[in-house]
Amino acid sequence: MIDPRLNGKNVLVTGGAGGIGAAICRAFAAQGARVAVHYLAEDAAAPADAEWAHITPGATAAERLADELGSGSFAISADLSEPDAPRELVEAVTDRAGPISVLVNNAAHCETPDDIDNLTHGSLERHYRVNAIAPALLTTEAVRLRHGDEPLCVVNISTDAARAFPGQTGYGTSKAALEAFTRSSALDLAPRGVRVNAVAPGPVQTGWMGPDVLAQATEIVPMGRVGEPGDIADAVVYLASHQARWITGQVLQVAGGHAL
């Protein structure tokens, strides 16, 4: 990219304190953007019949990252499973930094068991609240508080297996809903100069893969390696850049050929 034109822009990255989210924050900061690093203050206790699939980095990790990023970046918390949280989060970021130029809906909920034999109303609701409903409402609020006709770009983080995710039904179908929202909102918002796209990562090592899982994942990726968080972050920055100014409604698979 010659000039992605992201210097000085306000970027909100949900779930930004660790893993792929942290890499996305660093990638935007490297372009001179001011980043609001969203985090969940602490995990609620897992339901009696479920376990969290990943540990969520909390306030310490988010604040440390924001200090590292500089350029006026800051950490901000919200529980995106709560109905009012998207509005309150966008308002808080806008009050502190000004209108959001780039919204990255990266925060996700993933719990196990999540197969067809263990689905419950509660597990489905928990997945959909964070993975589909919150990104939609965050987008609505970012558009509502947009300043005039200044460019606004939304990048949703899906998964390359959203079309069929055996063993993770609630997670996979909620991400498929996010991709559907990407396309529908892109059409609704295109006349207003707002772009909405998604990135669908393949298997990415963020610390959750042990040696056996890593070997299995590597074997099924045609390019011969699992992804790194930076692989996803670079794609997100591209979709937010000036170079992608005529791209909207797309789901960009970043997966080394996995799940084509």
Domain boundaries, the chain: 10-254
Quick one: pLDDT band at residue 43, thresholds 50, 70, 90? low
Distance CA(63)–CA(81), nearest Å, equals: 22
Q: What share of the chain has pLDDT > 70, as a percent?
A: 97
* Paired strand residues for 195: 153
Distance CA(39)–CA(50), nearest Å, equals: 22
Quick one: pLDDT band at residue 48, thresholds 50, 70, 90? confident
For the segment 61-70, the average pLDDT, to the nearest whole number, is: 97
User: Is 171 marked active-site?
Assistant: yes
Distance CA(46)–CA(259), nearest Å, equals: 30
The burial class, CB within 10 Å (0-12 / 13-18 / 19+), for 135 is: buried
pLDDT higher than 90, residue 228: yes
Query: Residue 1: what pLDDT?
Result: 59
The predicted-structure confidence for 144-195, as pLDDT tens digits, reads as follows: 999 899 999 999 999 998 988 889 999 999 999 999 999 999 999 999 999 9
Instruction: Check: CB of residue 239 under 8 Å from CB of residue 197.
Output: yes
* Mean pLDDT estimate for the chain: 94
DSSP-assigned letter for residue 40:
-
> 10-254: CATH homologous superfamily?
NAD(P)-binding Rossmann-like Domain (3.40.50.720)
Q: What share of the chain has pLDDT > 90, as a percent?
A: 87
185: how many CB neighbours lie within 10 A of its CB?
Answer: 22
Distance CA(203)–CA(166), nearest Å, equals: 15
Quick one: pLDDT band at residue 70, thresholds 50, 70, 90? very high
**Nearest CA-CA partner of 147 in 84, 74, 188, 95:** 95
H helices within 117-165, ranges in order?
A: 121-128, 134-144
Distance CA(230)–CA(239), nearest Å, equals: 14
The predicted-structure confidence for 98-145, as pLDDT tens digits, reads as follows: 999 999 999 999 999 999 999 999 999 999 999 999 999 999 999 999
Quick one: pLDDT band at residue 42, thresholds 50, 70, 90? confident
Q: Which amino acid is at 258?
A: H
